[in-house]
Chain A
């Protein structure tokens, strides 16, 4: 590892810790003194929330980088491809069926539906052995439409579950508990490690399937493995944090501008980038209209959607293939 990178990682760690501490003290209730009440809020409400923020940010950003390489599409992100929405539909289904009492059942449903979404968009957009870039995005966007419609129907039919379900469609970190973190953490950790291990293969995949194969990459196996673990991460993150869009789009792009296109550097730096982006978004969501809260998904979308349009505008020549 380059010495310069180590210094950067240290600096980024300090920034992340600083923002986490800031996140502990900012919010609808002002922390003026360390009385029992404030300590309770910090320890049991804000600390798990801040940690969940960091976990989901890292996971979403790394997934975005992985999807961009696997689908060979700079506009890929768990949200733009409809995969997060698929996971949300899975979670909503589990709740409506009354399965949310079982440990892991929401996460399991979220993951299965997310994987099903991946399969569907690949089926729709494959032309021969290539993924058609424009069709891939259209497939993702149409799946988002479809799922939004299904979720609203589910909500209207099951009025009593509405509050629970609405949480998935907008994204929220407010209910995070330490027990949730204990589940999310290992999935995010394993996912990131696997994706980092295959970072060099992801570089090769960016140059196309045939080329990657001729360079010695086991293309099919690598793609399946990366898709499985990144989608697993998405399933778990969505089932605890809801749909938070565009993090996986914005962060790897900014990191790429800063450190270049090598995924061996993009992935570690995206971990920090995702953490910082989510911490800032979370702080804004809690302070902008305090004492009320904005859904965090709306904050990331306000930044992310224009960025998506900007990339689409820049890429339109290439998309026209």
Chain B
């Protein structure tokens, strides 16, 4: 267990988001502590991505508020918010051939003035972040030519280059094979431990959530129904309630899922 995790870094208060009177997420409240590793689970359409987009200020909640370091996120300038929160999405589309290095350098934008060129310091930071994510050898390759795992590591390097205390990730491993899923999760754990970065990650795979996270947020039909320590949340009854499947949890390490009909 990590020591001293009682600094609140992010606060979500009664957040709802609705489209045409229909609530996508409803009355969600929780707080994240500095240095925590939080996984968000829930079925498709349970509102996970909408919640993440509210926190990253991509959309404005219909009701409620989000605070970072005790300040409302819509009071931050876009640049200053980018000093606090970085985002890694499931898919990154690139229209044109940017090199991996250029993409990671984009993480430094929030620290650069208009027309200012990339400084020596920016170069050093980008190099460090790329080495940490094992992408330095890809620096001159076009992001369009990278494999899924390589591209996600580059996107994580960009988030690192933003030097934010919080990284939000929207299903970063869903399109990767098992080996690369673990590789990304190990990398995030390393970042979480070494930099004390708060990780807030949407995951589909419950085994990964069980193995890597300190705390779990479970969403169902737009509501936060469980929030707490991983082992207390990922129980057979809760998984049945959330996903309507039967799960056996072995040694608090493995989750085996059965169809409700089988057995």
Contacts and interface: CB of A to CB of B under 8 A. Distances in A.
Q: State the main secondary structure of chain B at its contact with A.
A: loop
Nearest to A68: B95
B79 interface: yes
Interface of B: 53, 56-58, 77-83, 85-87, 89, 92-99, 102-103, 106-107, 109-110, 112, 114-115, 117, 162
Interface of A: 1, 72-74, 197-198, 200-201, 203-204, 206-211, 213-219, 256, 260-262
A200 B110 CA distance: 11
Contacts of A211: 87, 89, 92
Contacts of A200: 109, 112, 114
Contacts of B107: 215
21 contacts: A73-B95, A197-B115, A200-B109, A200-B112, A203-B102, A204-B106, A204-B109, A207-B94, A208-B93, A213-B58, A213-B78, A214-B56, A214-B58, A214-B82, A214-B87, A216-B78, A217-B78, A217-B109, A260-B102, A261-B97, A261-B102
Select the residue from A73, A197, A200, A256 with max chain B CB neighbours within 10 A.
A200
Given A207-B92, A211-B89, A214-B86, A261 B109 contact: no
Contacts of B114: 197-198, 200
A182 B115 CA distance: 28
Contacts of A261: 96-98, 102
B228 to A, nearest CB: 28
B96 A256 contact: yes
Nearest to B158: A215
Given A216-B80, A216-B110, 16 more contacts: A197-B115, A200-B112, A203-B98, A207-B93, A207-B103, A207-B106, A211-B92, A213-B78, A215-B162, A216-B78, A216-B81, A217-B109, A218-B78, A219-B78, A256-B96, A261-B97
Contacts of A204: 106, 109
A260 B53 CA distance: 31
Contacts of B87: 210-211, 214
A206 B78 contact: no
B202 to A, nearest CB: 14
